[in-house]
Each structure stands twice: as C-alpha cells, then as structure tokens.
Amino acid sequence: MDWLQVVVLALLQGLTEFLPVSSSAHLILVPALTGWPDQGLAFDVALHFGSLFAVLLYFRRDLIGMTASWGRSVATRQLDDNARLAWGVVFATIPVGLAGLAFKDQIELYLRSPFYLAMGLVFFGLLLGWADWRHRGDRSESQMTWKDVLIIGCAQALALIPGTSRAGITITAALFLGLNREAASRFSFLLSIPVILLACLLKTKDLIEEQVPVDWFAMGLGVLVSAVSAFLCIHYFLVFIKRIGMQPFVIYRILLGIALLAVFY
C-alpha cells in the first residue's frame, strides 16, 4: 500500500469505529471507488490497535477508577457506581462474544455483501433516529439497571449484522431505555474496549497462523493515524452530541446506503 491508502483507510477506521455510521461500509466502499487492493489482515489488526489505544487513553481516568472499584467489589461484594459500571461492561460483552462464536461464519458467508450492508445502514439508521427523537431520556450511565445492561449487551450482538454499526446499535438501545445522549455514547465507547481487544487478539492469532508478511511502515503509520483520529472523534462527538443530536448521522447513513447500492448495483 502507498502512504495515501494507508492514511485514508486509517482515518476512516479511527473516525467511523466510534461514530454510529458503520466502519465496515466505509472500508468496503472506498476501495471500490478508488480501485485500491485489499489492505490485508495485518493492516486490519494495526487499525484496530490504533482505535483501542485511543479509547483507552481517552477514558484512562475512568478506567483506573472502574478497575480499582471492580477489584474492591470482588473482595467486599459492595458495589459503588464505578464497580457497577465495570461489571456492566463485562456482562454486556458476553452476548456479542457468544453470538460471534455461534454465528460469525454464517454471517460472513451469507450477509457480507454491499446489498445487506446498505439495508443495515438504512434500517438501523432509521431506528437510531426514532430512538433519539421519541425515546431519549435524562438518565446517566450510573443509573442503569442490570436489565438495561442485558438489553444493551444483546443489542450489541446485532452489530455482527453488516451495516448495523456497533456504536450505532448500542447507542440506539441505550436511548430507547431512557439514557441521555452523553450517557448512551459514553457507555457505548466503554463497551468498545473489550470488543476491540477480542477482535485484535483473534485477528492476531489468524495473522500468526497464516504467516502473512508485514509492511511495518504501513502498520506503524496506520496505528498512529487511526489512534489520533479516533481520539479526536471521541472527544468532539461527546462535546457536540448534545447540540447536534443523532439526526445528522441518520441522514448520513441513508445517503451512504444509497451510495453503496449505486456503486455496486
């Protein structure tokens, strides 16, 4: 890959991983429009590591507090807000892990096409718009119940369907449950940590088994650009989400779905 392809794909990964717009749709559409070759497994791993580093760095203070409280809760069986949030992230990750083990191969075989990507973008985009317009509340993430955590976790499993967007579906579920925009987004970002980590580990395992040659320059640049763009994306999304709402992302998803259909069909 040349440096332009590396930078563009890394920017796309960093920006779309945490926005409710489906990173997979962008990473399919851009190479189709540009004629670029597939970026390969090693580069995918690098981009995911960049996104993971960004979210860990941005929420480092929260994560330190959550980890300390989680450790105390194991010893004392007493839960404060940080411990509840930490356990919530753990429990909400279980459904997507189980669904991935059970259905990942079938989904990649039957649903990994531009048509299903476009349908997922439009349908789940409209669902996000409805949740933000009619059901958004004022609860924070510390006010979630265990039932809320379970529902959001099960919704996250739907992100295995192409075009859904992991961020989009978790934010949608949280809004339907009455969380405010900031709380829904923050919990979605925290939920991304174990999911991206698991994806990195699985892809690294595949990379080692396949003994794929590695372009270290491309990987290093990809990690850097992905991390910086993801960090800025998280920061400005949380800053402006109260003002802009979710409707611009709904419109964008619909237009992107139409673009996918126009390019491939």
Pairwise CA distance, residues 24 & 124, whole Å: 14
pLDDT digit string, tens, across residues 85-111:
999 999 999 999 999 888 877 877 777
Asked if residue 113 has pLDDT above 70, the reply is yes
pLDDT digit string, tens, across residues 166-182:
999 999 999 999 999 99
Predicted pLDDT of residue 42: 78
Q: Where does 158-246 have alpha helices with state H?
A: 166-176, 181-210, 216-244
- SS3 label, residue 140: coil
Among the residue ranges 42-46, 63-67, 139-143, the one predicted with the least confidence is 42-46
Higher-confidence residue: 56 or 43? 56
pLDDT digit string, tens, across residues 50-80:
999 999 999 999 999 999 999 999 999 899 9
Asked if residue 35 has pLDDT above 90, the reply is no
Residues whose CB falls within 8 Å of the CB of residue 204, separated by 6 or more in sequence, listed in order: 45
* Closest by Cα among 40, 58, 51, 59 to 14: 51
Pseudo-torsion of CA 214, 54, 165, 207, nearest 10°?
20
- SS3 label, residue 179: strand
Q: Where does 80-145 have alpha helices with state H?
A: 81-110, 114-130
pTM of the model: 0.93
Pairwise CA distance, residues 239 & 40, whole Å: 34
- Cα–Cα distances (Å) from 250 to 31, 46, 83, in that order, read 23, 29, 33
| Mean pLDDT computed over every residue of the chain | 90
Query: Number of folded domains in the chain?
Result: 1
pLDDT grade for 207, boundaries at 50, 70 and 90: confident
pLDDT grade for 136, boundaries at 50, 70 and 90: confident
Asked if residue 162 has pLDDT above 90, the reply is no
pLDDT grade for 212, boundaries at 50, 70 and 90: low
Domain with 81 in it: 3-264
Say if CB 66 and CB 85 are below 8 A apart: yes
Higher-confidence residue: 82 or 217? 82
